[in-house]
Amino acid sequence: MLEGLSNASRIPELRRRLLFTAMMLAVYRIGVAVPTPGIDGQALASFFDQMKGTLFGWVNLFNGGALEHFSILALGIMPYISVAIILDLLKVASPYLDELYKEGEAGRRKITQYTRYGTVGLALIQGFMISVSLEKIQAPGGGSVVYNPGIGFEVMTVLTVTAGTMFLMWIGEQITERGVGNGISLIIMAGIIARLPSAIGTTVQFVREGEMSIFLLLFILAVAAGVIYGIVYIETAQRRIPIQYARRVVGRRVYGGQSSHLPLKINTSGVIPPIFASSILVFPATLATFVPFLKPYSAYLTPGGVYYDLVYVALIVFFCYFYTAVTFNPVDVADNLKKYGGFIPGIRPGRFTADYIDRVLSRITLGGAIYVSAVCVLPTILIQRFNVPFYFGGTALLIVVGVAIDFVAQIQTHLITRNYEGFMGPGGTRRMKSRRRA
């Protein structure tokens, strides 16, 4: 793999794609530094220091600090992701959407169009809610974070952050088409990684001042390396169900008679369960910020508490099963196997095959849910126990490692495509003909 990555710079096309991806991510980070007019940046930063356990702090983490400074990209790419996930879930209840997902390229373009429209609508709603909330926020010093509140500020803010979200969505699509990897995922990863230098600087300062011992730092680094290794191992792990294809005679040709396998990922749902669980759990704390009498009740769901961890794990397990059931249909898989003459040895085709796949998927989903829960809860426990000043696990680490794996896979795909083109191109054809003459 390392040899393949080193060869990436030697291929002109792949080098151009990597350079284009880097340039688009640099544009994104520049946009994060451009503030929205009418905001007191220092007062807002002081407010966000107190909002780390609420929805604002959670969204700010994935936006790379854009919400903390309330830049033109304050909403980030989250509206687009939310609409895409909602449409993905609605295909179970909507036969029309289900047919679009099965229509291939034409259906994908239609789904993309609906996602864009939904992103505009959701960004307008979120922008209005945030603008109204900003007008009510009082900085720790007692002043307002908005210089001139009113309808003018609200309209300007809604239009600015909505345009920023659509621009960011365009950047993601350009990276996907002309760069390397999934552009939306790379934007999220870049936003998370952007917080890493300040976290490392804080850690170094803690060690220098004696607030953290060097042995504790080495222990934390070892745990972080172990967590990353576990994520890579599980995310690339598969449960392979053997598939046998029956032999068919069509005219003078014989088809089938081959052995294959059906790969099932241990973590089929990816990072969707912790994202859903986190957004649900931070909502009470966010609501209590504006409704004072709810603060005693929201205290039970403070991050790091026992009740928070228990509810968090329960929600992760629920969403792991729910999202897996929505995105993977064993009945369709069984029907496709039967259609092409495939079967699982020892299992009858049709309903029995679907039941067998469903049983296997349910068992491995439980293991995947436990793995996701452990990765998400472990950082919280270590932060509370050792007062760790940087975030090295949870949903953020799942996203970063998962996107990195996908990014490397995309580069390897381009390398393999290049090798095939070199073999089957004009030069390769001439070499094959010369060998036949010999």
Whether residue 234 lies inside any domain: the answer is no
Most confident range, picked from 58-67, 184-193, 423-432: 184-193
Residue 301 token pair? 């769901």
**pLDDT tens per residue, range 225-253:** 888 888 888 888 888 889 888 776 666 67
Whether residue 39 lies inside any domain: the answer is yes
Whether residue 135 lies inside any domain: the answer is yes
**pLDDT above 50: residue 96:** yes
* C-alpha separations of 82 from 35, 112, 435 in Å: 24, 13, 56
Q: How confident is the model at residue 174 (pLDDT cuts 50, 70, 90)?
A: very high
Its pTM stands at 0.78
For position 423, what pLDDT does the model report? 42
**pLDDT tens per residue, range 340-397:** 778 888 888 888 999 999 999 999 999 999 998 888 887 777 666 666 554 555 677 8
For position 57, what pLDDT does the model report? 59
Whether residue 252 lies inside any domain: the answer is no
**pLDDT tens per residue, range 399-423:** 888 888 888 888 888 777 766 554 4
**pLDDT tens per residue, range 264-294:** 888 888 888 887 787 777 666 666 666 666 6
Q: How confident is the model at residue 430 (pLDDT cuts 50, 70, 90)?
A: very low
Whether residue 157 lies inside any domain: the answer is yes
The rounded radius of gyration (Å) of the Cα atoms in the chain is 25
For position 434, what pLDDT does the model report? 44
For position 32, what pLDDT does the model report? 86
**pLDDT tens per residue, range 9-57:** 677 888 888 899 999 999 998 888 888 888 877 777 777 666 555 556 5
Whether residue 84 lies inside any domain: the answer is yes
Whether residue 203 lies inside any domain: the answer is no
Residues in the chain: 438
Average pLDDT over residues 309-314: 86
How many folded domains does the chain comprise? 1
**87 touches 215 (CB < 8 A):** no
Whole domain around residue 114: which residue ranges?
12-195
The residue with tokens 């859903």 is: 276
133-147, 175-189, 231-245, 321-335: lowest mean pLDDT where?
A: 133-147
Whether residue 249 lies inside any domain: the answer is no
Residue 117 sits in a domain whose CATH number is 1.10.3370.10
**pLDDT tens per residue, range 44-87:** 777 766 655 555 655 666 666 666 777 888 888 888 888 888 88
